[in-house]
Amino acid sequence: MGTIQLRDVHKAFGATNIIPKLDLDIEDGEFVVFVGPSGCGKSTLLRLIAGLEDTTSGKIMIDGRDVTNESPARRKLAMVFQSYALYPHMTVAKNIAFPLKMAGESQSEIDKKVANAARILNLSNYLERRPGQLSGGQRQRVAIGRAIVRQPSAFLFDEPLSNLDAALRGTMRLEISELHQSLGKTMVYVTHDQVEAMTMADKIVVLNAGNIEQVGSPMDLYRNPRNLFVAGFIGSPTMNFVEGRAAEALGAKTIGVRPEHLRITVTNGAWRGVVGVAEHLGSDTFLHVHTDDHGTINVRAGGEIPVTHGDVVFLTPEPAKIHRFDANGKAL
Amino acid sequence: MARAVSTRTKVSYTIAAWVVALLIFFPILYTIITSLKTEGEAVAGFNLIPSFTLDSFRDVQNQQNYMKPFMNSVILSVGSTVLGLIVGIPAAWAMAFSPTKRTKDVLMWMLSTKMMPAAAVLVPIYLIFLRLGLMDTRVGMTVLLMLINLPIIVWMLYTYFREIPGEILEAARMDGASLWGEIWHVLTPMAVPGIASTLLLNIILAWNESFWTIRLTTTNAAPLTAFIASFSSPQGLFWAKLSAASVMAIAPILIMGWFSQKQLVRGLTFGAVK
């Protein structure tokens, strides 16, 4: 089991409200990603679940048990930190064995579990090394190994890939997803990278200033953002927002069109503009078009489009893919 | 980029460094030279060439047993330092990892006690020792030396602990370590260099402490500082014997300091350069 429920959870540091009252349900076996900009309270929320921060008020339940006032160790959770937080004076084997040693397990049982975790994470050849002798990716695997051996109810990840380079981040992202498939355990993952959120999550929780803006599957959030914040945060490149006559014509204060939902022609279309920058990636072409009436619009076109800086182009949004928002920023 | 330094500058700096070093070391050197003189040579005036006699050392040993104050010095300095670490590690841990608004004030208050002239509290401490029956006892002196050096111990450990990332201790907490497990299995091994420097420095400070050891001990708990002092008053000015007693008192700590100088320098400059 690995269900987590938050009820009226509130966190304040002195007079500063970090997380206003909030409810959240995480189902057993789900991969939930908390995503939001820096300072939105996502890490604080994870630390509240872990027990590393005390709640100001509200209740946290794990597997139906109220753990609000329990110490981190008693919550049966394992956490992987951004900085790996490995014990530098211990070997890889001892790092992985540490939670088992604290739980008072026998040496033979510890050896067996450490060997198994090392096999799963391809660390068998590094067991006698110290963390300082490992690469970033290997260190992160050790941190994951230390989490696995505890057989926790749920895993908590606090921006675990942000210290890795782009290539390794992609590989580790896949490894964590595969680990989730094979272990079938609940995982709660914090990131500010919406690509990580979209690719890994069963459920995304979008946070802004401590408030939950929307909870849903990645495609749900992509297709039906509840408000301007979610619409702007989910999707890469970000959604284009247009106000004025074009929006009013559709009965909205603001309309949003994703860069991939704009048709581009050189003869005629809804919005005329001049190409500022054209980024040709082969698989895609990204255009930054300075339009006559709607400012700069980002366009993503599949394949190679033979346009370049200074060319005049016409953009037409796909009618079915236009998002409409009212004056309060809520989706219509 | 490294600056080019002329040979002339290098030579003048080297000479200046040697002069300063010799000036600082000269009192110790002259004490050693005097200890190797006869009493006659010692009172004759300034003379850097002794007759290399060990008579003064023999006299000192015959007059008073060296081993007893030596053992007292070892017990008091090591005992007070170990006791100080037992109290200081949890205190520094709390201040470094669970600071409150008043932590800095507490640290400053602790340090301010080191600025107080010892003579100002001589009478109260003397009376406390007298009432509690601690006069001339190793237990009393160990506790007193521990309390005198505790601010230094806590400050040094606090500085070290602040360098240890809090996430590692949080990881230990998530891994099921109790408070003591966290301190024992994670914090202490990671802070070994810092704890070692603190230990060495405090042994030296406790070994050299003379204000309280001379005033609150007579025979049973008297360390080497009281041993030296005992040669200065009743018998008049026997410079060679006094120097021999001083050399015998400082030799152990000088040797220890020599072998651990790398650790000590690291300890004293820790946090100064990042």
Share of chain B above pLDDT 90, in %: 47
Cβ of residue B171 closer than 8 Å to a chain A Cβ: yes
Of the candidates B157, B59, B175, which has an alpha carbon nearest to the alpha carbon of residue A52?
A: B175
Domain identity same for B44 and B177: no
DSSP 8-state secondary structure symbol assigned to residue A246: H
Q: How many angstroms separate the Cα of A120 from the Cα of each of A145, A171, B251?
A: 8, 15, 58
- pLDDT above 90 coverage of chain A, percent: 64
CB B136 within 8 A of CB B163: no
Question: Which of the residues B175, B182, B184, B192 would you substitute to probe the A interface, choosing the one with the greatest number of A C-beta atoms within 10 Å?
Answer: B175
Torsion angles phi and psi, residue A158, rounded to 5: -105, 95
Q: What is the mean pLDDT of residues A292-319?
A: 90
Q: Do B172 and A87 touch (CB under 8 A)?
A: yes
Domain range holding B50? 7-59
Chain B CB contacts of A73 below 8 Å: 173-178
Q: Select from B59, B78, B96 the last residue of a domain.
A: B59
* Residue in chain B nearest A97 by alpha carbon: B175
Highest mean pLDDT among A94-98, B221-225, B241-245: A94-98
Shared domain for B47 and B70, answered yes or no, is no
Residue-range domain boundaries for chain A? 4-232, 245-325
Among A85, A89, A146, the residue with its CB nearest the CB of B167 is: A85
Q: Is residue B1 part of a domain?
A: no
Let me know whether B51 and B73 are in one domain: no
Q: Are B149 and B84 in contact (CB under 8 A)?
A: yes
Q: Quick one: A326 exposed, middle or buried, by C-beta within 10 A (0-12, 13-18, 19+)? A: middle
* H/E run at residue A166: helix A166-183
Give the residue on B whose Cα is nearest the Cα of A147: B175
Tell if the CB–CB gap between B173 and A83 is shorter than 8 Å: no
Provide the 8-state DSSP code for A239.
P
Please tell me the class of the A245-325 domain.
Answer: mainly beta
Question: Quick one: closest CA in B to A158, which residue?
Answer: B167
Give me Rg for the CA atoms of chain A: 23
Phi, psi of B64 (to 5 degrees): -140, 145
How many independent structural domains does chain B possess? 2
Round to the nearest angstrom and report the end-to-end CA distance of chain B.
18
B274 pLDDT band (50/70/90 cuts)? very low
pLDDT in tens, A162-207: 888 888 888 888 989 998 998 899 999 999 988 899 999 999 999 9
Listing DSSP states for A248-289 in one string gives HTTT-SEEEE-GGGEEEESS--SEEEEEEEEEE-SSEEEEEE
Of A82, A83, A102, the CB nearest to B176: A102
Q: How far is A233 from chain B (nearest CA, A)?
A: 29
Taking residues B127-133, what's their average pLDDT? 94
Residue B186 has pLDDT above 80, yes or no: yes
CB atoms inside a 10 Å sphere around CB B47: 13
Q: Which residues pair with A285 in a beta bridge?
A: A280, A301
**B124 and B17 co-located in one domain:** no
Confidence label for B155 from pLDDT (cuts 50, 70 and 90): very high
Q: In the structure encoding, which two tokens stand for residue A160, read together?
A: 């675990």
Q: How far, in Å, CA of A128 to CA of A92, rounded?
A: 6
User: Are residues B13 and B134 located together in one domain of the fold?
Assistant: no
Residues 6+ apart with CB under 8 A from A74: A51, A67
Residue B79 pLDDT exceeds 50: yes
B139 falls within a domain? yes
Same domain membership, residue B129 and residue B45: no
Are A121 and A95 a contacting pair, CB within 8 Å? no
Would you tell me the crossing angle of helices A92-102 and A136-148 to the nearest 10 degrees? 20
Residue among A71, A77, A89 minimizing CB distance to B189:
A89
**Mean of pLDDT values over A291-296:** 89
Neighbours of B17 (CB within 10 A): 10
> Domain check: are B24 and B85 in the same one?
no
Class of domain A4-232: alpha beta
Measured CA to CA in angstroms, residue B5 lies from B11, B12, B14, B15, B267 at distances of 10, 11, 13, 15, 30
Chain A stretch 44-103, residues whose beta carbon is closer than 8 A to a beta carbon of chain B: 50, 52, 71-73, 77-79, 81-83, 85-89, 98-99, 102-103
pLDDT at A237 > cutoff 80: yes
Closest CA to B98 of B182, B156, B174, B177: B182
- What is the pTM for the complete model shown? 0.77
Q: Specify the pairing of strand A57-62 against strand A4-13.
A: antiparallel
Q: Which of A43, A44, A48, A52 to mutate to test the interface with B (most CBs of B within 10 A)?
A: A52
Of B165, B175, B189, the CB nearest to A99: B175
Helix (H) or strand (E) holding A183, with range, is helix A166-183
- Listed range (A109-123, A289-303, B44-58) with the worst mean pLDDT: B44-58
Asked whether residue B148 is domain-assigned, the answer is yes
Which residues on chain B are in Cβ contact (under 8 Å) with A102? 175-177, 181, 185
> Of chain A residues 106-165, which have a CB less than 8 A from chain B?
146, 150
d(CA A291, CA A264) in angstroms, rounded, equals 12
Task: Clarify whether residues B79 and B15 are in a common domain.
Answer: no
Same domain, B130 and B198: yes
Q: Is the pLDDT score of B259 beyond 80?
A: yes
Residue B2 resides in a domain = no
